[in-house]
Structure 1
Amino acid sequence: MLKVGNVKNIFKILSIFLILLQLSCVQNKRRENIIVASAGKVESLDPAQANTLRTLQILSALGDTLYKINKQGNLSPNLAKDLPKVSKNGLLIDIPLKKNISFHDGSIFNAEAMKFSLNRFMKIGTLNYLLNDKIEDIEIKDEFLLRIKLKKPSSSIKSLLTSVNLTPVSPSSYSNFKDKFNNKGFIGTGPYFLKSFSATQQTIKPFKNYWGEKPLNQGIDFINYSNSSTLFGAIKTKEVDVLISNSIDDMQRVTLNRMVQNDKLRSGEGKAIEIGFITFKSNKSPLGNQRVREALSYTLDRQLISKQVSFGTREPLRSIVPPQLYKKEFSPWPIYKPNLARTLLKKEGYCEKDILSIPLTFRSNVPADKLLALTWKDQIKRDLSDCIKISLNGVESTTVYKQLSEGAFEAVILDWTGSYPDPEAYLTPLLSCTKINNNTCLKGEAVFSGSFWGNNKVQELLNKSEELEGENRLNTLVKVEELAAQGSSYLPVWLVKPKAWSLTDITQPEFSNNGLIILKNLKRN
């Protein structure tokens, strides 16, 4: 006969077993979705406002674009039925659309919906200059035929139509958001629909009426952590299934790569599309002097910085466009020559009595920024301490972006990823200027980039490139970069490949040509 104490012990054991069983069931249920982790909050899922890689990553799963760039680097129809048909004078573009495609709210995707979305972007889009500078009008020629009227011929418009920012939204669901952002929701045509949204977590589930290839998983939970250490710990302890490389400390990247080599993780890598650079404010002394900026362009030992900051994972870069977009190697910025830098600075009155003082701002929440700033400062102290003194200032990235156009920073470390795979997607945001006075940009994108550098010949060549195709166009854009290198208002540092790591029971992450993970191909083995 069982004693009362033994019975109590049995009940305790059974209770613990049931609790563990419940926890196991909850865990299994929770991991039905694939958990993807990245750094930083997602404040908005409106494609007209999206400007961070993590936001574009989610939008790429929730929406579709008219066209994609295929593995061969060519334009390929997506929501469009065929390639765009351009008139002989280059001013009319007809885009036939696929039929039987519906939005997540059940409404039909057609030319009217595409026109609504493009007009909305042109009116309120953060990057609306990309379209406003090119498009005169948008017409509906038929229910599934869209016509774009251009202000002038544009060879870049085709690549622009691959941008995630131009993914169509449902006119029915966005009727109250024609002239304002819809920050907390999204209704598109993509393989997933948005189930829940907060700044730190977003859940998407497969859209059962999706017109294309269905997702291989049952849904994605996006988790947004605040720092690199938390992200790193989450993948090591298997709290998350996939880790995206943005804002991961480079030392931790090395450890993750070592785990891949030891078959503890899988990894995938995309084409290098992110550039890292330093912007110099060129409209005020001392960096208003082009010769001083030119001297600084010789002071950066990219090989050393790549090795010390990223252990060689970030490729040294002497261009403000990823070289593969030119389809050839092109590096117009000078190599490291500290003696030449000293010679140039002496001609401007530095190095003997006066020392050039440069306050360098880095984004305090981007790990690589601080290491870059410290390494460059130490390198300058080693090579040119009699000529240059660098002081460091860490500022949170959102504050940096808000204050760039105010001219708040003499020199600031930044990065940029083009919204579509074309040289123009890098050159225009950094160099475009509509009002120039003595090489100072008074109005245009060069103001918003914080450089305030303007050059009339650059604008002339950018405009000319829009009338050209193929090799002639690329050669013209090469000339634009050569002039930018001479102006020395930017100092390119490195090129970054997008990377992701996954647990071994998840398929290897694949990347599209725009540097985003193809989320629908992720599968739990």
Structure 2
Amino acid sequence: MSSSGRRDSLLWAAALFACSLALSQVACQPPRRSERLVVASAGKITSLDPAQASTFDALQLLSALGEPLYQLDHKGELEPRLASAPPQISDGGFTISIPLRRDVLFHDGTQFNAAAMAFSLRRFLSIGTLNYVVGGRIAAVETAGPYLLRLRLTRPSTSLEGLLSSINLTPVSPTAYAKHRDQFLNKQFIGTGPYRLTSFQTQQQRLEPFQQYWSTQASNAGIDFINLSNSTALFGALRSGEVDVLLSNSLDEDQRLALHRLAKQGKLREGEGPALEIGYITLLSNAPPLNQPLLRQALAYSLDRQLMVKRVSYGLRRPLRSLVPPNLQAEPLTPWPSYNPQRAKQLLKKAGYCGTQTLTLPFTFRSNVPADKLLALTWQAQVERDLSDCLTLKLNSVESTTVYRQLGEGAFQAVILEWRGAYPDPEAYLAPLLSCSKANGSVCEEGEAAISGSFWTADGLETSLRYSDELRGPDRLHQLREIERSAAGGAAYLPIWLVAPRAWAQRRLSKPEFDGSGHLMLQHLRELH
């Protein structure tokens, strides 16, 4: 079958693979071979504009089509990519100068230089839906020379150096985007990466190796990136050989386990990336009953994370008692308490519950995220077993887009979510959940803490966040640890688990590899001979 025929087959499969009988029949067919590789993932890609892209699939694709100024290696060290050397800090931390490579072309033949990078950064700051990650830290973007970019900052910022590794800041061709400097270009992308985009549809994208790429050429003849909406379809397509490589996002947990076991048996090749996604529960802290800190703290003690990761992910996820992934910490920090139902009951009694009065807590999970429902059911059963005379969980199922839309309106007493920082740095996890521009006591009225649905803050917390961003080395790490301890005491967020990205490949292919930001390196996939 041709590669175009295989893609058509997969699109048909996206609609019809719901039947397990059909899957079992397809699984008997021999694997199909092609010089191009088919890589499958869940969901749809509606925009490939780096000023707008935010979904897992879109960022994964952008990481193959474009590249940032720097990347983080597996040790968390900053490595130049489109930059030619480390950033140069001057003017008391208010100026960052970045020397650029001179041998880079965009996919349309335009030369990459300081003017092109400045165009892209200004565009992102102007129209980017994720421009909040910059946090108002960039006052001006200047071209100090043909290949020297200069950033003037509003305040010193050590985390900004990590931000320069974000794929959202990948440059775009000023020639191709001349008419889109103030509007999105969703279905095209002209960058500098190892692949160029030759076809875009919502459920399939075609990538060809970029022959004028400045660094090592892709190890394969191209990628057909397929987006299927059904976990069973994804699982069956890999088993049947219709898919060469499968990413783990949005797969049902039992199917992840099945593929993990097949890899252990030598029937697939499995790769695992850095664990940068956290799962957590947000508690509404600005309205009764959870405006009582004692109740939030009691809930923090009621979580049996070991049981949750065992029941939900069969141990493939890891329990987490911090808002920052451990591999971004110099030393492990677990400021949130471990499971202690006796302590939870003591706090609930102190708050006036247990015995004659039971706290009924609405707990919302996203209906389209399989792990959410399993976690909700596990926590509900655990509470009924350990705290039935004090606490009852009432489960609510809501589609994820509705959750995100209503989160900042204070619509949910307790809701499970996940977060993956825009770049691998503690600040990219703490600031989006804790920063607050307008506070009234312990209630955040405006800022990221309000948008995130907790509305919690503490006296001096915002000042501490900003101060930490001016520090380096051990002083910065100490300040960040104190911020986390404060957040654990407030207990408006309850970290649950840590998720590492995985990918499975057919045996004839090389083992999937991930970069330091958790993106699958498509250009490293190759046929083994």
> Partner of 1:195 in structure 2?
198
Partner letter of residue 404 of structure 2? Y
Matched, 1:360 2:369: no
Given candidates 312, 315, 325, the residue that maps to 2:315 is: 312
In the TM superposition, residue 29 of structure 1 has moved relative to its aligned partner by: 9.5
> Partner of 1:6 in structure 2?
none
Distance 1:374 1:331 in 2: 25
Distance 1:445 1:341 in 2: 29
Matched, 1:238 2:252: no
Deviations 1:120-144 (A, max 9, x none): 1111222212224211111111111
Identity level (%)? 54
Between 54-63 and 399-408, report the one with greater CA deviation: 399-408
Given candidates 411, 417, 422, the residue that maps to 1:419 is: 422
> Partner of 1:503 in structure 2?
506
Partner letter of residue 390 of structure 1? L
> Partner of 2:105 in structure 1?
102
> Partner of 1:147 in structure 2?
150
Given candidates 464, 486, 504, the residue that maps to 1:461 is: 464
Distance 1:123 1:143 in 2: 23
Map 1:378-417 onto structure 2 (within 5 A).
378-417=381-420
Distance 2:147 2:217 in 1: 23
Given candidates 198, 204, 208, the residue that maps to 2:207 is: 204
In the TM superposition, residue 23 of structure 1 has moved relative to its aligned partner by: 8.4
Partner letter of residue 40 of structure 1? G
- Give the gaps of 5 or more residues in structure 1: 1-18
Distance 1:158 1:208 in 2: 30
Between 46-55 and 232-241, report the one with greater CA deviation: 46-55
Deviations 1:129-172 (A, max 9, x none): 22242111111111111110011111111111000110011111
Contact kept in structure 1, 2:205 and 2:225, CA below 8 Å: yes
In the TM superposition, residue 342 of structure 1 has moved relative to its aligned partner by: 1.1
Distance 1:444 1:157 in 2: 19
Deviations 1:468-511 (A, max 9, x none): 10111011000010000011110100011111100001110001
Distance 2:5 2:57 in 1: 31
Matched, 1:322 2:329: no
Moved >4 Å (runs of 4+): 26-30
Contact kept in structure 1, 2:277 and 2:420, CA below 8 Å: yes
Deviations 1:328-352 (A, max 9, x none): 1110000111111111111111112
* Matched position secondary structure for 2:115: helix
Distance 2:373 2:75 in 1: 37
Distance 1:344 1:70 in 2: 44
TM-score (norm 1): 0.93
Partner letter of residue 172 of structure 1? T
Distance 1:124 1:350 in 2: 49
> Partner of 2:231 in structure 1?
228
Contact kept in structure 2, 1:36 and 1:243, CA below 8 Å: yes
Partner letter of residue 254 of structure 2? M
Contact kept in structure 2, 1:122 and 1:132, CA below 8 Å: no
> Partner of 1:84 in structure 2?
87
Contact kept in structure 1, 2:283 and 2:290, CA below 8 Å: yes
Matched, 1:252 2:231: no
Contact kept in structure 2, 1:268 and 1:508, CA below 8 Å: yes
When the two chains are superposed, the root-mean-square deviation of aligned CA atoms in Å is 1.8
Partner letter of residue 162 of structure 1? S
* Matched position secondary structure for 2:460: helix
Partner letter of residue 128 of structure 1? N
> Partner of 1:163 in structure 2?
166
Matched, 1:213 2:234: no
> Partner of 2:116 in structure 1?
113
Distance 1:257 1:327 in 2: 30
Deviations 1:247-293 (A, max 9, x none): 11121112111111222100001111110101111111111221111
* Matched position secondary structure for 2:63: helix
- Cα 1:108/1:311, change in 2 over 3 Å: same
Distance 1:60 1:456 in 2: 39
Partner letter of residue 249 of structure 2? N
> Partner of 1:181 in structure 2?
184
Contact kept in structure 1, 2:32 and 2:241, CA below 8 Å: no
Partner letter of residue 303 of structure 1? Q
Matched, 1:430 2:437: no
Contact kept in structure 2, 1:355 and 1:388, CA below 8 Å: yes
Deviations 1:86-109 (A, max 9, x none): 115111111111113111111111
Map 1:235-314 onto structure 2 (within 5 A).
235-314=238-317
In the TM superposition, residue 52 of structure 1 has moved relative to its aligned partner by: 1.8
Partner letter of residue 267 of structure 2? K
Contact kept in structure 1, 2:133 and 2:422, CA below 8 Å: no
In the TM superposition, residue 30 of structure 1 has moved relative to its aligned partner by: 7.8
Distance 2:122 2:368 in 1: 35
Distance 2:32 2:336 in 1: 53
Distance 1:267 1:224 in 2: 20
* Matched position secondary structure for 1:456: coil
Partner letter of residue 300 of structure 2? S
Larger radius of gyration: 1
In the TM superposition, residue 32 of structure 1 has moved relative to its aligned partner by: 2.6
Distance 2:169 2:253 in 1: 33
Deviations 1:397-428 (A, max 9, x none): 22221221122211111111111111001001
Distance 1:398 1:201 in 2: 22
- Give the gaps of 5 or more residues in structure 2: 10-30
Contact kept in structure 2, 1:441 and 1:453, CA below 8 Å: yes
> Partner of 1:343 in structure 2?
346
Deviations 1:343-399 (A, max 9, x none): 111111111222211111111111111100100011011111111111112222222
In the TM superposition, residue 319 of structure 1 has moved relative to its aligned partner by: 0.3
* Matched position secondary structure for 2:211: coil
Given candidates 370, 374, 378, the residue that maps to 1:371 is: 374
Between 373-382 and 181-190, report the one with greater CA deviation: 181-190
Distance 2:438 2:134 in 1: 19
Deviations 1:447-468 (A, max 9, x none): 2211111223221111111111
Deviations 1:60-105 (A, max 9, x none): 0000110111233211111001111111511111111111311111
Distance 1:382 1:293 in 2: 19
Deviations 1:423-455 (A, max 9, x none): 001001111111111211111111221111122
> Partner of 2:526 in structure 1?
523
